[in-house]
Structure 1
Amino acid sequence: METEKIIRLSVRNLVEFILKEGDIDNRISGTLDKDAMLMGGRLHRKIQRMMGSNYQAEVSLKLQLPCEGFQLKLEGRADGILLESEKTIIDEIKGVVRSLDRVERPVPVHLAQAKCYAYIYARQQGLKQISVQMTYCNLDTEDVKRFREEYTFEELEKWFLDLVHQYERWAKLQIEWEKRRDASIHQTEFPFAYREGQFDLAASVYRTIYHKKKLFIQASTGTGKTMAVLYPAVKAIGEGLGDKLFYLTAKTITRTVAEQAFSILEEKGLAFRSITLTAKEKICFCEKTECNPDACPYAKGHFDRVNDAVYDMLEKQKKLTRESIERQAEDFHVCPFELSLDLSEWADGVICDYNYVFDPTAHLKRFFADNVSGDYLFLIDEAHNLVERGREMYSASIYKEDVLEVKKLMKDRDKKLVRSLESVNKLMLEMKRECENYRLVESVSPFAVKLMNLLTQMERYLEEERNGGNAEQPDAFMELFFQVRQFLEIHELLDENYIQYTELEGNGRFKIKLFCVNPAENLNHYLKLGNSTIFFSATLLPIDYYKQLLSVEKDDYAVYAESKFPQENRKILIGSEASTKYTQRGTEMYCKIADYLRSTVDGKNGNYIAFFPSYQFMEDVLEEFEKLASGVELVIQSQFMSENQREEFLEMFEEERDHPMLGFCVMGGVFSEGIDLTHDRLIGVIVVGTGIPQVCNDREIVKNYFDQRGMRGFDYAYLYPGMNKVLQSAGRVIRTEDDKGIILLLDERFQNRQYQQLFPREWKEYEVCARKEIKEKMEEFWENR
């Protein structure tokens, strides 16, 4: 007998999905919503503690409701339940920055959420009456304003069941789709003949998902890791081990790889809704991205039409491609970006940037709000990038010069706001006088208090301007507004993983920074909302480094998937006469490196790329190489390339030519990872330098942080990130089993044990050579191929 389908849904998602209406308007800052600002957390808890012994805080509420053909399982968390004599009151707390005088009534969606909690609790406790209390608290003054209303169980039930009834048609549509999807998953086989080791890799992924664990995969290029990760994850969904997968990437180019993998499975008969979330600025129909009804016709009345647009796409089973989403948005006159977000709720797989899951200011609230877990599978591609991206997402800075600029802009506009800006500027000036380069500080709480007052004044000013018909504000003002909000949100996250410091930069700008040195705890906050996580990359060495910075668990699995390429198809050389140490840089060394490059490309006609530690270093070597470079075509990466320019750069490697071509690129740049130049499109890579980042205050802070904890600070701050860039760059040359190519490492330090310990296992065979030996070794290698 077939068991009845259970659909899980958060209370928040139910009310926001069914009851949303009106315009998109980003001029309304959203600070009435507690999720818009993490900084309300402490005040939130303070109010709960003040409510006395009859107050239960953070009460988890669940209700499984029989519907036609399925069971609806609703989940949520009431901020508080107050038992007051013979009354029961559901309390919903919202932090606001605006003056409470301007809060005249509860926000309808907030009230609806509280009414759902009231219905669930009253039903479970057999109550005939129950009250709902909306508690709004000002985050600056800590003033509180409450609205209370009493309901009979009958009127709540009528309202609630009508809400559920509106959702039923959507649920039935999804159930029918999932039946078709699961049937297709069971029939879909792995689309290729398994490469050696690929089946074991796929089996490891499936076992990890089955046991609800995390897995770290170091898989060299050519192991087929994308399909080996994606296929078992899809299979797991078919077996009920997850209901949605998130394929997370750091760069646009790796999203394309995931899209291609889904397409290959679909060609084999898989029915699976996958969607790629495109950045708002890229998919917006307007010349300038201004999300309000005055500037954008698609924003006006968007929420009145968007559900019809979504239902139409799902019912007609249209593919959720960027092109089809844009057409649907045009047809229904809605925002394409917001439409894609709504469609993601009904997708089986979501391909997106890291920030849609992990960024506290940009994550998808529909999936990750209220700490309600889901049966999500997280597949994190190029996971080595998540360390630095995590640090960025969970760090925040405020610059004194930005505060001063906005103060000047507001000078004749608003005295209260100017006074608040002056107060912040004055405190920053005091801190600047105590800072010569950078200075660690124990606490920035006094500064955060000043910022809270500033945010209140900025919020008030914005609202008064909007009410007066002046919605447009200077860019500098809005940028500072969002920076202040972010700083206060990050301030709520401070723990032992953070360092707080001030810095006087070389250009004279002064900042206060909350620096997240180890992002693992913050990342885990979101990862624990899913079932399982697979971290995978071609360069995840040393594995313990990534475990330390990406996970808080001690029992995570790890797999090393070795390359199965024939060793004889790859030649690895280390140049003994080259160095990129600062003490040895100069014309003489640039000439030596240029000579290595020339000798390499002379070994065989074909396409090569040289990767350099910086643009300046690249230009210095290029100047010397051009003196030797007759007969070699050059293609050079520039610092600010558009997408079209990047495509044109890569297209150069498609052309046939009767002379060698050498690309000059930068390690860690857009061409050093995620690009596939297979077969004879690229036959050699020269990596100039060890990739070690320049010494800077952030790096020194990381070094000292780990040194103080008994770990090798230099390795964490410099060596591991640098070698990752080296391995990524070198990985461009051998992409398929049939590829043949050379890797030349130009820095004498590659002969040192601490660097060679980080070489992949398949690099065990290498030769050290001088410049005069290069051409001969190249010719010898290619003659035998």
Structure 2
Amino acid sequence: MEAINISARALAEYVYSSGSIEFGIRPQTAMIEGTRAHQLIQKGYHEEDRKEVPLRFEISAEGLLFLVEGRCDGLLVRDGHLVIDEIKSTAGSLEWIEADSYPVHWAQAKCYAYAIALEHALEEIDIQLTYVQRGTNDTKIFISTFSIVELEEFLHFALKVYAPFAKMKLSHFEKKIESAKRLEFPHSAYRQGQRLLAGTVYRSIKEGNTLFANAPTGIGKTISTLFPSIKAIGEGVIDHIFYITARTTTRHAAEDALSLMAANGLHLTSVTITAKDKICFKEDEGCPGEGCPFTEGYYDRINEAILDIYEHETRINRTVLEHYARKHQLCPFEFSLDVAYHADAVICDYNYVYDPRVSLKRLFDEKKKRTALLVDEAHNLADRAREMYSATLDKQGYLAVKRDYKKSNPGLSKAAGKINQYFVDRKKELEGRHAFLLEGVPEDLLEAIKEFADKAEAELVKGQEVSEELLDAFFSAQNFIRTAGFFNEKYCAYFSHERNETSVKLFCLDPSELLRKAGKAFRSKIFFSATLVPGDYFKEMLGAEEEDAVISIPSPFSREQVDVFISPLSTRYKVRDASYSPIAEMVEMLVKERPGNYFCFFPSYLYLKEVSERFNSGEEIDVLIQQSQMTEEERDQFLSNFEAGRPRSLVVFAVMGGIFSEGVDLPGDKLNGVIITGVGLPQLSFERDILKHYYTSNGKNGYDYSYTFPGLVKVLQAGGRLIRSEEDTGTIVLIDDRFLQKKYLNFFPNEWKEFTILD
């Protein structure tokens, strides 16, 4: 008999969840407050009572053997009888909660009750549902008695409903394992270094290790990490893959790699998660929340939709998700999350794993232990993580709430006013500065924020229409409270006034510890990029353990494939004006001597603008200029201009470190040259200088950590757009005298080592 593992909660939710998606406020502290509510109830248990009791039982149904497991909140002893206690917390009023309000809660508790009744050979057992209101800690309790016969009948009914999905998953699992075992590398041959990378990734997953892999652009990193991960699935080492990245283009690369392997016989389900604001069917008017036809009755339709999509699809990208979401009248974003929990491979942004505000919290640690985490373009993660783990409060939002709710909710208005007054008082301390450091988290501000959050939540759970300013202020308050809980020596707090906005920021200086904790439960983590250099720097930034492995794959490309020129023209800010015309003339001369398609990368839009205005394209050259805030469609249209064999040369002016300097693949004659102006240093700023001081005080070269290394990555990424295969050739021009310094030359890829210095 085939065995199926399922948690009691998952079974209860599958069978008994119903109705609409609740768009009431789900504060970031809800989980913390819920835990506190549980602990408060559990503190009142008697000495003989037990809490957090792990339970597991087997039951046969529908020709399958189900292994059901879970953890009940409390196992109580009352008058000699055992009682299952299931605790649920809520921000709303307890008044409207009746005994039959949430069948899903009774279902979960019945699974636990059946396990205990079996273990103790009981004829009947009591179940107690304890509802706790967060904030007030008021409780409401319902108790019912169930016989072992009733509990068994309940389970057989639930498993009968769940069985079609279970059988579908079982059939899929067998096909997945067999096809993964048989799968061969989907190309006729490995590129140089590709077999080494794939083999190292497989061993890391098999041994449950973390790997940092620096592999050159164009080697085929996506297939070299996904293929060995799938072979590990075939060997039963793991069950799932999470492929996370920062850019849409690299998500497409993962989709293409899985499609290629599917064409070679792989039977594996993958889901790509698209951001809510992009996939929402009501995106033009904004998510309406309650009242949306795609969220009303969502849980009444979700099971049928999941069965439908899994029976007919394996490559579930945005287009496929939207089709089935419309077919079943479901919110496409929520549908993508529900589908993702059952997928073999999930392709998504970093934040679904690392950001505590939006991460997939239902991805339990037990599942993570059977999952490989593949982190693409990992050089981007440290800066992204700094923002994920930081929090900012802006004065204007709280001033708006103070004014908007002065009459309708004086208590809320007063709470917002306290926060506004904090900003007014501290602004006097600026004394001509635009920012200054605070001594840790301001306790008076934190108390005011907590008071505001309580008042705001009470207003929001009324279900009445609220202002956008209140929502924004509430969520920023919740993020501030959460981040204050992380605050330690790896953080700083500062007060600033800039562009008519006054703010307080809890700034995460070093996210390495938080990144390590967030990824700890995964069986294996593979961080890979073409620019994980210097290796020690990125190991430190990304929270590596001392024993974590590092591999650097030599470039398979020869020096003959690229002509590298260095122009020792200074692009430093103080003398930048003098460089505009010489650079424009240099680009013009190069393109006329070597016609083709060129990317010209600059440190900023202003620099780009000044040079492009001086560039004389004549009748022989087409010019394109990157604009800020381009949509995905505009980006795709922009890149479509890179065509091999164009009748006229193409020169594209773009920003280094922007959307076109990473993750763009233009093989062959689609791209003939790259011109890079400047060494990519981040702009001087208050935050960058804080980082410099932090790393200097910890015995590092603070300037390199905060400026040089991030800039070097931008340069190498931009230059990496040129050579994508063994057949590609082209020209690279590096414009800045600092490129001749040893610390830059040491990190040049092999094919850049021989260069010509321009007069």
TM above 0.5? yes
Given that residues 51 and 74 in structure 2 are in contact (C-alpha distance below 8 angstroms), is that contact kept between their aligned partners in structure 1? yes
The alignment of Structure 1 onto Structure 2 pairs a total of residues equal to: 752
State the partner residue of 1:366.
362
Going from structure 1 to structure 2, the CA distance change for 1:705 and 1:77 (only over 3 Å counts) comes to farther
Deviation at residue 90 of structure 1 after TM alignment = 4.5
C-alpha change, 1:693 and 1:39, in structure 2 (3 Å) is farther
Query: Does the C-alpha gap of structure 1 residues 103 and 510 become closer, same or farther in structure 2, counting only changes over 3 Å?
Result: farther
Deviates more, 1:346-355 or 1:251-260: 346-355
5+ unaligned residues in a row in structure 1: which ranges?
Answer: 771-785
Give distance in 1, aligned partners of 2:603 and 2:329.
48
The aligned residue for residue 409 of structure 2 is 414
- Per-residue CA deviations over 1:274-313 (Å, capped at 9, x if unaligned) read 121222222222242425342x222221211121121122
Aligned equivalent of 1:731: 720
Per-residue Cα deviation, 1:391-429 (whole angstroms, up to 9, x for no partner):
222221111221101211222321121122122223343
Q: Deviations over 1:33-64 (max 9, x none)?
A: x9854465566556656757556554444445
How far residue 125 of structure 1 moved from its aligned partner, in angstroms, is 5.1
Q: How far does the alpha carbon of each residue in 1:485-524 deviate from its partner, in whole angstroms, 9 at most, with x for none?
A: 222233333344333x132132242222222222233333
Residue of 545, 570, 580 corresponding to 1:553: 545
8 Å Cα contact 1:10/1:372 also seen in 2: no
Structure 2 stretches lacking a partner, 5+ long: none
User: Hey, what's the Cα distance between the residues in 1 that align with 2:194 and 2:61?
Assistant: 43
**Which residue pairs with 1:774 in the alignment?**
none
Q: Distance in 1 between matches of 2:34 and 2:743?
A: 47
The one-letter amino acid of 1:462's match is L
Higher mean C-alpha deviation, range 443-452 or range 204-213: 443-452
Which of 224, 243, 253 aligns to 2:220? It is 224
The answer (yes or no) to whether the contact 1:618–1:666 under 8 Å persists in 2 is yes
Give me the whole-angstrom Cα distance separating, in 1, the residues matched to 2:487 and 2:366. Answer: 19
Deviation at 1:23, TM superposition (A): 1.4
TM-fit CA distance, 1:374 = 4.3
In 1, Cα distance between equivalents of 2:687 and 2:4: 46
Q: Is the 8 A contact 1:37 1:489 kept in 2?
A: no
Superimposed CA distance per residue, residues 722-770 of structure 1 (whole angstroms, 9 cap, x where no aligned partner): 1111111111111111100122111111112222333334433233322
Tell me the residue number matched to 2:139. Answer: 145
Q: Counterpart of 1:488? A: 481
Structure-2 residue corresponding to 1:290: 287
Decide whether aligned partners of structure 1 residues 333 and 132 sit closer, same or farther in structure 2, where only a CA change above 3 A counts. same
**Does structure 1 residue 598 correspond to structure 2 residue 562?**
no
Structure 2 residue 635 is matched with structure 1 residue 646: yes
2:158 aligned residue: 163
Q: In the TM superposition, what is the alpha-carbon distance from 1:91 to its structure 2 partner? A: 4.6
Per the alignment, residue 22 of structure 1 pairs with 19
Where does residue 246 of structure 1 map in the other structure? 242
**Equivalent runs, 1:93-104 vs 2, <5 Å:** 93-98=87-92
Does the aligned pair in 1 maintain the 2:270–2:314 contact within 8 Å?
no
Contact 2:411–2:455 (CA under 8 A) maintained in structure 1: yes
Once the two structures are TM-superposed, the CA of residue 255 in structure 1 deviates from its matched residue by 1.0
TM-score calculated relative to the size of structure 2: 0.92
* Equivalent AA in structure 1 for residue 597 of structure 2: N
Map of 2:624 onto structure 1: 635
For 2:674, the equivalent position in structure 1 comes to 685
Residues in 2 aligned to 1:95 and 1:447: alpha-carbon distance in whole angstroms: 27
Greater mean alpha carbon deviation, residues 526-535 or residues 242-251: 526-535
Give CA deviations for 1:55-85 in whole Å, capped at 9, x if unaligned: 6554444445555565444444444555567
Instruction: Please say if residues 254 and 347 of structure 2, whose CA atoms lie closer than 8 Å, have aligned partners that are also in contact.
Output: yes
Taking a change above 3 Å as real, the CA distance of residues 518 and 240 of structure 1, as seen in their structure-2 partners, is same
Matched letter for residue 530 of structure 1: F
What CA RMSD, in Å, does the superposition of the two structures yield over aligned residues? 2.8
Counterpart contact for 2:662–2:721, Cα < 8 Å: yes
List per-residue Cα deviations over 1:335-394 (Å, max 9, x = no partner): 2222222222332211111122222121223324x7764411111111111111212222
Q: Deviations over 1:5-39 (max 9, x none)?
A: 5544343333222221111242x1235xx985446
Pairs within 5 Å for 1:81-480? 81-82=75-76, 86=80, 88-98=82-92, 107-124=102-119, 126=121, 131-137=126-132, 139-140=134-135, 143-152=137-146, 154=148, 155-192=150-187, 193-286=189-282, 287-294=284-291, 296-317=292-313, 319-368=315-364, 373-435=368-430, 436=433, 437-464=435-462, 466=463, 470=464, 472-480=465-473
Other-structure match for 2:504? 512
Distance 1:496 1:171, change over 3 A: farther
Q: Which SS does the other structure have where 2:305 is aligned?
A: helix
Query: Secondary structure, in 3 states, of the residue corresponding to 2:664?
Result: coil
Answer whether contact 1:54 1:84 (CA < 8 A) is retained.
Answer: no
Per the TM alignment, residue 323 of structure 1 is displaced from its structure 2 partner at its CA by 2.9
Tell me by how many angstroms 1:629 deviates. 5.8
Q: What is the CA deviation profile of residues 156-201 of structure 1, one whole-angstrom value per residue up to 9, with x for unaligned ones? A: 4443443334222211111111112222222221011111221121
C-alpha distance in 1, partners of 2:466/2:11?
35
Residue identity in the other structure for 1:759: F
Equivalent residues of 1:571, 1:743 under 8 A apart: yes
Equivalent residues of 1:21, 1:303 under 8 A apart: yes
474, 494, 497: which one pairs with 1:502? Answer: 494
The 1-side partners of 2:183 and 2:172 are apart by 16
Q: Distance in 2 between matches of 1:753 and 1:446?
A: 50
| Residues 41 and 492, structure 1, Cα contact 8 Å, conserved in 2 | no
What is the percent sequence identity of the aligned residues? 38
Instruction: Give the direction of change, closer, same or farther, for the CA distance of 1:423–1:733 in structure 2 (3 Å limit).
Output: same
Q: Which amino acid aligns with 2:436?
A: Y
- Inter-partner Cα distance in structure 1 for 2:471 and 2:690: 30
Q: Supply the distance in 1 between the matched residues of 2:490 and 2:46 (Cα, whole angstroms).
A: 33
Corresponding letter in the other structure for 1:589: S
Partner SS, residue 255 of structure 2: helix
Q: 2:526 aligns with which of 524, 528, 534?
A: 534
